[in-house]
Amino acid sequence: MTPETNLVSFVLRFVYDQPTGEATVLATRWHGVVRHVQSSEELHFSRWADAVAFIERFAQLDQPTNQRANSKDS
């Protein structure tokens, strides 16, 4: 039996905002955008945990490979 290949793609962009002028009192801030390529759905995030949760909606990263295959049969 040939194993099934599933492809899930994401584009991940990190943005670094550095305030200028009077705004330098504010902290420099990283944030990002993650886009699921197949659906074009995207999430703007400032916490890495939010990006991981978004990715896990499309790719069940916490399940062993054999459990993923079994869950498709259900």
Determine the structural domain holding residue 18 and report its residue range. Answer: 10-73
* 3 within some domain: no
Question: 19-31 burial string, b = 16+ CB within 10 Å, else e?
Answer: eeeeeeeeeeeee
Residue 47 lies in a domain: yes
Residue 22 pLDDT:
65
Q: What is the pLDDT of residue 5?
A: 82
Asked if the structure places residue 41 within a domain, the reply is yes
Q: 10 Å Cβ neighbour count for 61? A: 10
Q: For the segment 13-52, what is each residue's pLDDT rounded down to a tens digit?
A: 999 887 777 655 566 588 999 999 999 999 999 999 999 9
What's the domain count of the chain?
A: 1
- The model carries a pTM of 0.66
Identify whether 31 is part of a domain.
Answer: yes
Q: Is residue 22 part of a domain?
A: yes
Residue 5: inside a domain: no
